[in-house]
Amino acid sequence: MSRGLARSEEELTGEEVTVLRESLAPRWRDVFLQHLHHTKGGLYKRPFTESFEQAPLYVAVLTYMGFGVVTLFGYFRDFLRAWGFEKCNLAQEREEQKDFVPLYQDFENFYTRNLYMRVRDNWNRPICSLPGPQFDLMERVSDDYNWTFRHTGKVIDGVINMGSYNYLGFAENDPTFLTSVEESNEKYGSGVCSTRQEMGNLDIHEELEKLVATFLGVESAMTFGMGFATNAMNIPALVGKGCLILSDELNHTSLVLGARLSGSTIRVFKHNNMQSLEKLLRDAVVHGQPRSHRPWKKILIIVEGIYSMEGSIVRLPEIIALKKKYKAYLYLDEAHSIGAVGPTGRGVVEFFELDPRDIDVLMGTFTKSFGSSGGYIAGKKELVDFLRLHSHSAVYATSMSPPVAEQILRSMKCIMGLDGTTIGIQRVRRLAENTRYFRQRLNEMGFIIYGHEESPVVPLLLFMPGKVGAFAREMLKRKIGVVVVGFPATPITEARARFCVSAAHTTPMLDKVLNALDELGDHLVLKYSRHTRSSRPELYDETSFEMDD
């Protein structure tokens, strides 16, 4: 019986369920069982396997100790700087303005000066090529412990890119693919110099919006020039004073900003926790607004499709059930999920086999899967028409650059197969396979990785602050570019590396990364997982992982 990794979307049989359950480690089994009844109850069409394994206690203790040590050293070095024993490299206020109220409080910079500065070389690494599966980095060195960088002029070429959100590999510069983009650049130029409501509504924007609506299977769509601003500038048009926003605690900053700018009351529920959400919904409907107890005008639930730091997938079927029961509205941000999950790349809605019309506001970005820039909002015609009149972006912000719009048109047509090829759908499948392969291998090696087994965002837990810098540097030495994030972007004990799997990654590339990780995992002692390794490792050795594309 051939059971390759690429076990695709079909349902599991009863026997397979038993086999799978037996093979799972205790914690995984709980997660699995928890969702089995949903599978049977019909909310979930297939098992929903997500894992957030806890680190051993000693790891947490050591992590806190690590922070303690750097903080102590930070105070010590601040003392040295204050007394002039150590040179202070921070930019200084000019003489004329010394008696102004200081622009920054001293403590605001403590973290920058003493912690971030030690590992600063692992972020903002400048690249000088296409951000494809492999890219070239500009080599830079620091002569003053990361305060300033000097470019040596040398290029580190052929670094495997595990950081860019290039899920479907549409960040490409193959001229045969880019002809239409080149033409639109020639025809329109790169800017627009006006807003949508004024003189910046080009025919190409109209075409794009029609295509986006068709792609998502909804009545209407509107596009915006920047993904961040799509959230920040449209949520205030939808809700306002007297409305309630229920927001997942891990929502992206743009959603948080949009919610805040709207003036609504904001309540936060625990990440992907339906009990927490239901409790808030129930309280909100029953008790109404605080003090006045007037009923809320509307309740808007804001969630993301795939959470970019956790790799978790939203429990959409449950949320839709809740939203229907409590008559709330649902705003779904598919920044990372559109194109990246679902059998034909239509995002989490398709992933769960749901009806897109059940979601009131579908939002997403073109930055990731489509290799372009900007964002969209889609839904019912009346919603989009309302936004055309009231969106801050439509009135005040310059419209999307025509070649950028053309790139979206091109890649979306490719995914839909409108270009007459099967390249798009092959890439969607390839991404799903790469994801499963990569996650499964990491699990076998004994790393703690977070998130849903089909999410292309793969966070690998490093925990200790000292390992963050070491990990990123060692990986770069092996010509692999990774993204690392630590406190305060994550909880203090959960520093992590984040990999974004792409359809453009070939199996040898992934194997190279995996081998490097295996080696480094032993070297830096990163294999924290206490779960039993897979009971069927030999299967993966047998699997030949070839795709015909």
Partner 1 sequence: MVQIFRFMPNTRTNVFCACATSDAMTLAPADAGQQQDGVRATVGVSGDGASLLRGILILWIIRLLFSKTYKLQDSSDLTEKEIEEIIEEWQPEPLVPRMSKEKPAPSYNIVSGPPCHKITVNGKQCINFASFNFLGLLDNDRVKNQALQSLRKYGVGTCGPRGFYGTFDVHLELEDRLAKFMRTEEAIIYSYGFATIASAIPAYSKRGDIVFVDEAACFSIQKGLQASRSHIKYFRHNDMEDLERILKQQELEDQKNPRKARVTRRFIVVEGLYMNTGAICPLPELVKLKYKYKVRIFLEESLSFGVLGQHGRGVTEHFGVNIDDIDLISANMENSLASVGGFCCGRSFVIDHQVFALLAQKAISDYVLIVILSQGYCFSASLPPMLASAAIEALNIMEEDQGLKVVGESISPAFHLQLEQSSGSRESDVRILNRIVEYCMDRKIALTQAHYLEKEEKFLPPPSIRVVVTVEQTEEELEMAANLIKEAAQNILQ
- Pick between residue 44 and residue 438 the one whose CB is nearest to partner 1: 438
- Pick between residue 65 and residue 489 the one whose CB is nearest to partner 1: 489
CB of 408 to partner 1, least distance (A): 9
- Pick between residue 2 and residue 92 the one whose CB is nearest to partner 1: 92
Pull the structure tokens for residue 293: 């107890």
CB of 303 to partner 1, least distance (A): 14
CB of 515 to partner 1, least distance (A): 22
Task: Kindly report the number of other CB atoms within 10 A of residue 103's CB atom.
Answer: 8
Q: Which residues contact 215 (CB under 8 A, 6 or more apart)?
A: 346, 412, 415, 416
- Pick between residue 206 and residue 549 the one whose CB is nearest to partner 1: 206
Report the distance separating Cα 397 and Cα 402, nearest Å.
15
Task: Kindly report the number of other CB atoms within 10 A of residue 443's CB atom.
Answer: 20
- Pick between residue 225 and residue 466 the one whose CB is nearest to partner 1: 225
Report the distance separating Cα 528 and Cα 318, nearest Å.
32
Report the distance separating Cα 249 and Cα 267, nearest Å.
9
CB of 439 to partner 1, least distance (A): 20
Q: Which helix (H) or strand (E) holds 468?
A: helix 465-477
CB of 112 to partner 1, least distance (A): 5
CB of 216 to partner 1, least distance (A): 17
Report the distance separating Cα 96 and Cα 64, nearest Å.
42
- Pick between residue 2 and residue 98 the one whose CB is nearest to partner 1: 98
- Pick between residue 328 and residue 526 the one whose CB is nearest to partner 1: 328
Selection from 436, 465, 462 nearest residue 447 by Cα: 462
* SS3 annotation, 170-194: CCCCCHHHHHHHHHHHHHHCCCCCC
- On whether the CB atoms of residues 180 and 406 are closer than 8 A, the answer is yes
- Pick between residue 14 and residue 491 the one whose CB is nearest to partner 1: 491
- Pick between residue 251 and residue 529 the one whose CB is nearest to partner 1: 251
CB of 473 to partner 1, least distance (A): 15
Pull the structure tokens for residue 364: 């997403």
Query: What's the distance, CA 146 to chain centroid?
Result: 28
Angle subtended at Cα 427 by Cα 380 and Cα 164, rounded to the nearest 5 degrees:
85
Pull the structure tokens for residue 269: 């529920």
CB of 141 to partner 1, least distance (A): 15
CB of 191 to partner 1, least distance (A): 4
The 8-class DSSP code of residue 56 comes to P
- Pick between residue 47 and residue 466 the one whose CB is nearest to partner 1: 466
Which is it for the CA torsion 87, 89, 90, 93, positive or negative? positive
The 8-class DSSP code of residue 112 comes to I
- Pick between residue 10 and residue 106 the one whose CB is nearest to partner 1: 106
Selection from 522, 429, 515 nearest residue 4 by Cα: 429
CB of 206 to partner 1, least distance (A): 6
Report the distance separating Cα 307 and Cα 337, nearest Å.
9
CB of 144 to partner 1, least distance (A): 14
Task: Kindly report the number of other CB atoms within 10 A of residue 152's CB atom.
Answer: 11
What b/e sequence results for 515-544 when a residue is b if at least 16 CB atoms lie within 10 Å of its CB, and e otherwise? Answer: ebbbebbeeeebebbebeebeeeeeeeeee
- Pick between residue 322 and residue 464 the one whose CB is nearest to partner 1: 322
CB of 329 to partner 1, least distance (A): 5
- DSSP code per residue over 437-464: HHHHHHHHHT--B-EETT-SEEEEEEES
Pull the structure tokens for residue 547: 């795709």
